[in-house]
A and B are shown apart, each in its own frame.
Chain A
């Protein structure tokens, strides 16, 4: 169930981020061609959360900080490549945007997701044991 909670968090965070940069600030633009737009939606709501969640699942609790950082870095680079692919295939077009911001956001997603996981383990699961 903790993976579900993390996935839901990642979806909320990524959808809100996308909404702000695409709709509010219009720094990027999505394609109006239906198939490309569907690809944008899938990337926003499924692919990005899944890849980060998968990366987070790669390491057990005992994994070192360095190894975890490498996981985060590699998955962020992979997501960045997907963003570049989206730009290349005209799924999205850049108006006034540097993809380094995307990279920083992916790192933020990974770190915040890890912190929520830690909170979940300490608050939700331990609380559960105490109330039993």
Chain B
């Protein structure tokens, strides 16, 4: 594990994005139960880490997080940034009263948001694509993860 290699754009962006994301969560009216809030934050973080550790490392190694392929201190900031996405997904699922017919559109919208976020992270040098990987390949992955998340939320929240 490495500390901080270069303190530049990606590190500053991660600090700002984390502050903004968690501040927004704090400001949102509390619509989710405490149990659901904990679960959504942890869910977002775990899904992000699962794909980073599987696709961003190991045999596939499709992208580099921050400055090196090694585990860095700011990688932890990056993983913490996944948690608010999990929260926002379940929060808006409830607020927008997503049902069977709007489910598909909601998932596609979130897959689009995922692509936009990934594009932003490449611009900010938080992630660097490698081994011929392009952002478009992430779209089906987002579709699968968001669908699983949506179905899981429906199951635990008892919605039809």
Chain A positions within 8 Å of B, measured between CB atoms, are: 1, 4-5, 8-9, 11-12, 15-16, 18-20, 23-24, 30, 32, 34, 37, 41, 45, 120, 124-125, 127-128, 131
**How far apart sit A127 and B33, CA to CA, in the bound complex (Å)?**
10
**How far apart sit A82 and B136, CA to CA, in the bound complex (Å)?**
37
Q: Which chain A residue shows the least CB distance to B57? A: A23
In the complex, the number of residue pairs spanning A and B with C-beta atoms less than 8 Å apart equals 61
Please judge, given known A-B contacts A1-B156, A37-B58, A124-B35, whether A9 and B42 are in contact too, CB under 8 Å. yes
- Could you name 9 residue pairs across A and B whose Cβ atoms are closer than 8 Å? A1-B35, A5-B42, A12-B46, A12-B49, A15-B49, A23-B70, A30-B58, A34-B59, A128-B35
Q: Indicate whether B127 reaches chain A with its CB closer than 8 angstroms.
A: no
Q: Indicate whether B54 reaches chain A with its CB closer than 8 angstroms.
A: yes
Are the C-beta atoms of B53 and A8 separated by less than 8 Å? no
Chain A residues whose C-beta falls within 8 Å of the C-beta of B57 in the assembled complex: 19, 23
**How far apart sit A35 and B59, CA to CA, in the bound complex (Å)?**
12
Interface size on B, as a range, is 20 to 34
Taken residue by residue from 33 to 67, chain B's Cβ proximity to chain A (1 for < 8 Å, 0 otherwise) reads as 11110110011011001100110011100000000
Q: Which chain A residue shows the least CB distance to B60? A: A37
**How far apart sit A125 and B54, CA to CA, in the bound complex (Å)?**
33
Chain B residues whose C-beta falls within 8 Å of the C-beta of A5 in the assembled complex: 38-39, 42
Are the C-beta atoms of A23 and B71 separated by less than 8 Å? yes
User: Chain A binding site: helix, strand, loop or mixed by DSSP?
Assistant: helix
Residue of A9, A16, A131 near B34 (CB, 8 A) is: A131
Are the C-beta atoms of A128 and B34 separated by less than 8 Å? yes
| Min C-beta distance of A123 to chain B, whole Å | 8
Residue of B1, B46, B59 near A24 (CB, 8 A) is: B1
**How far apart sit A132 and B36, CA to CA, in the bound complex (Å)?**
14
Chain B residues whose C-beta falls within 8 Å of the C-beta of A9 in the assembled complex: 42
Chain A residues whose C-beta falls within 8 Å of the C-beta of B46 in the assembled complex: 8, 11-12
Q: Which chain A residue shows the least CB distance to B61? A: A23
